[in-house]
Structure 1
């Protein structure tokens, strides 16, 4: 049996943790993000040739779980969380593929990580019998996925923070439609404020003592690890058929989805080149163009789930490659503004009948540019959300109503509510203390 991995903080000032401890904590005590002390290596031959996504995930993640009490539960966790399709669909007119990650309960790729995290936490022993509060900052899709995954789960409540007025109407409705043990807070600020507030609460030792807290953002290792599974599954299928690695164009904001893809490649599986598609928030494209990493306040865009000016997972990215030059050598990133997103959605609908969400459209635009430059490789665009979540943007551009997935339609039938909150660390801490009182 493989030796148990230890999990370290990206900031190096916290004790090593087991996988279960890292998942339960969300954030390391020194404010860093948990990473494995090393990435395991695997080969295509290690995987069942006709396995499901859940089978691929169980094999891929077994080395990360080795030696942990959760290891025996891993196949059941994967089967429970990854029970919906993630098809790799051909786009013949572009000589490319699209990896559709939006067929889960909330029509976004965040369902994969949120459901896996919920299934893992449900199986972790807890010495503290008090209710665990899961904090999640969302720029649109994460909150609904986490809310759905933990809805009515005993011993857990979820508190979702989202930037008021900066998510789509259907996203906002999803965030507030659960009730029961899921509470939405509409913050008078931006996503980066929500993210900062969550981190401040998790890092407050006094608050943690009074009120057990954890996180379900992509800072959580329990969210990041399962996102590796769909890249591995797609790349392995492509490898078996073509004996070539699969290249990906990944829309990204907080870097969790992109990092999952990079870790699959670093483990030795057949992922080829990875390109990042960003919206007008240019922190990452500027860094990859050679400037110093310079987080800044996010700007609002049509691709709102990527409206991040200070991507948390940049710490993990640096850890993965060791220094900034190595990071820049491994990746390229492109910024796509709102006008280009609109043109891309309209053009592909008009000429080929394809409807893409604004986030996926950033990656489609990068592919269009590559084709214009003569790049003939069989790229795969990562489709992160269903376009019907953004009907106010997409429908006028495609010229017809979009069919709404049944699970999303059911959520939209429920009533929804969210409480207002100031964009300050103390406002959240005060709300948490007050809401925990009997």
Structure 2
């Protein structure tokens, strides 16, 4: 697998180098030089395949021969040892439930795959690495659990103070072992900026052997394409065109779907759904692309005002706007609309949405009414509603059942280090740690 930087100012690298470097020196993002189509036979038989069988073929197609087949099979079987069911909500709208992993969020797919890929390369090369990651909610807990006690790896997670849910914070700050949580007095955009600056600081990056586990890392992006294939496999025999609606913050999830489409997965269209942080939906609807400071919402994992993966979205289409909007529609919703959707859908169907899934549902419902009326719509339910019980329960007027592993974390002791929102604060922490 050969990868280039979206800024085109540094040499190409192989997959292993991209995984550990995380971010190219020119501040771009790594993208595959070529995305090969999967054979027709794969799509003809996909409905007969398990999630793990699909994952093996997809990752082998993208990565190439850098990881031998037997080792790659072991990685995907271990990483994806949980289900991702497509659940009917209405006649033409389905929920792809991505919260059946250890931390009850879709980030488990990327984090578990990445940790095992890194572990494979580290064992082979006999080296160590420090993972540095920013989170607006679920990324941090997924990375913490995915990398917990992986030999040769330490993890530092930056999260914005007061801007993640209580449960998300608990999942970040109670892990311990080789995982440290840094509570930043700022926004997710501040956390993301600080992490990027650390990777662009060559002296710090090399001294501390830094690597990233955000969706800026290509090994997080690849597994985020897998559940699109698996969802399609579950509805293929219905014979309808498929539209995917993706609740979007940093847009890695959407880019995973676009990579799947590039390999031949027959997706009719994507809907990029956002909250008030709507810089990409505005762009998709003909406005200039203008980043801005993020605003806090009840769908906090999407509170991103300067999404990193927008560069990848453009790269996949060679920045051809007509081609982008042919494949992707953009919609955004306020907190009030999100709350109304949670209450209405539960009343009408009995299905409980989390705030992110609610935005996906609302955007998909609206899109199918306006166009693609013959399509089957699938929205990504990215987190278990219990993680947002304080928002959801008053709206549905009943309690959300807490999975055991989620209720257990509430009784654990938190341990986080508070830092400021400038890169100097992060640099000082990294320097004193060694």
Whether these two folds match at TM > 0.5 is: yes
Deviations 1:101-159 (A, max 9, x none): 00000010000000000000000047986641101100000000000011112211111
How much does 1:49 deviate? Answer: 4.7
Partner of 1:39: 35
Which stretch shifts more, 106-115 or 6-15? 6-15
Measure the CA separation in 1 of the matches of 2:233 and 2:365: 25
TM alignment of 1:111-130, pairs within 5 A = 111-125=108-122
Correspondent of 2:306 among 307, 310, 314: 310
Measure the CA separation in 1 of the matches of 2:328 and 2:194: 30
Partner of 1:410: 408
Measure the CA separation in 1 of the matches of 2:134 and 2:304: 11
Measure the CA separation in 2 of the matches of 1:159 and 1:38: 32
Deviations 1:187-244 (A, max 9, x none): 11100010000010011111022110000000011100011111011113322x1344
Q: Mind listing any 5+ residue stretches in structure 2 that lack a counterpart?
A: none
Quick check: 1:105–1:408 contact (8 Å CA) kept in 2? no
Deviations 1:336-395 (A, max 9, x none): 110000101111122222110000000111133245547352211110000000011111
Correspondent of 1:396 among 394, 397, 417: 394
**CA separation of 1:371 and 1:69: change in aligned 2, threshold 3 A:** closer
Q: Mind listing any 5+ residue stretches in structure 1 that lack a counterpart?
A: none
Quick check: 1:254–1:311 contact (8 Å CA) kept in 2? yes
Partner of 2:207: 210
**CA separation of 1:319 and 1:96: change in aligned 2, threshold 3 A:** same
TM alignment of 1:321-360, pairs within 5 A = 321-325=317-321, 326-360=323-357
Partner of 2:104: 107
Quick check: 1:70–1:124 contact (8 Å CA) kept in 2? no
How much does 1:419 deviate? Answer: 1.1
Quick check: 1:19–1:64 contact (8 Å CA) kept in 2? no
**CA separation of 1:128 and 1:430: change in aligned 2, threshold 3 A:** farther
TM-score with structure 1 length normalisation?
Answer: 0.94
Deviations 1:231-273 (A, max 9, x none): 011113322x134442111100100001111111111112221
Quick check: 1:334–1:366 contact (8 Å CA) kept in 2? yes
SS in 1 for 2:272: strand
Measure the CA separation in 1 of the matches of 2:363 and 2:124: 49
Partner of 1:422: 420
Measure the CA separation in 2 of the matches of 1:44 and 1:245: 17
TM alignment of 1:5-404, pairs within 5 A = 5-46=1-42, 49-69=47-67, 72-91=70-89, 93-125=90-122, 131-239=128-236, 241-325=237-321, 326-370=323-367, 372-373=369-370, 375-404=373-402
Quick check: 2:342–2:395 contact (8 Å CA) kept in 1? yes
Quick check: 2:75–2:117 contact (8 Å CA) kept in 1? yes
Quick check: 1:44–1:236 contact (8 Å CA) kept in 2? no
Measure the CA separation in 1 of the matches of 2:196 and 2:263: 29
TM-score with structure 2 length normalisation?
Answer: 0.95
SS in 2 for 1:312: coil
Quick check: 1:44–1:269 contact (8 Å CA) kept in 2? no
Give the CA RMSD over aligned residues.
1.7
**CA separation of 1:248 and 1:125: change in aligned 2, threshold 3 A:** same
Quick check: 1:70–1:120 contact (8 Å CA) kept in 2? no
Quick check: 1:137–1:217 contact (8 Å CA) kept in 2? yes
SS in 1 for 2:290: coil
Quick check: 1:41–1:267 contact (8 Å CA) kept in 2? yes
How much does 1:72 deviate? Answer: 4.5
Measure the CA separation in 1 of the matches of 2:20 and 2:131: 10
**CA separation of 1:295 and 1:141: change in aligned 2, threshold 3 A:** same
> May I ask how many residue pairs the two structures share in their alignment?
430
Which stretch shifts more, 420-429 or 319-328? 319-328
Measure the CA separation in 2 of the matches of 1:409 and 1:104: 15
Measure the CA separation in 2 of the matches of 1:127 and 1:243: 45
Quick check: 1:218–1:224 contact (8 Å CA) kept in 2? yes
Measure the CA separation in 1 of the matches of 2:414 and 2:188: 20
Measure the CA separation in 2 of the matches of 1:59 and 1:245: 23
Measure the CA separation in 1 of the matches of 2:126 and 2:197: 24
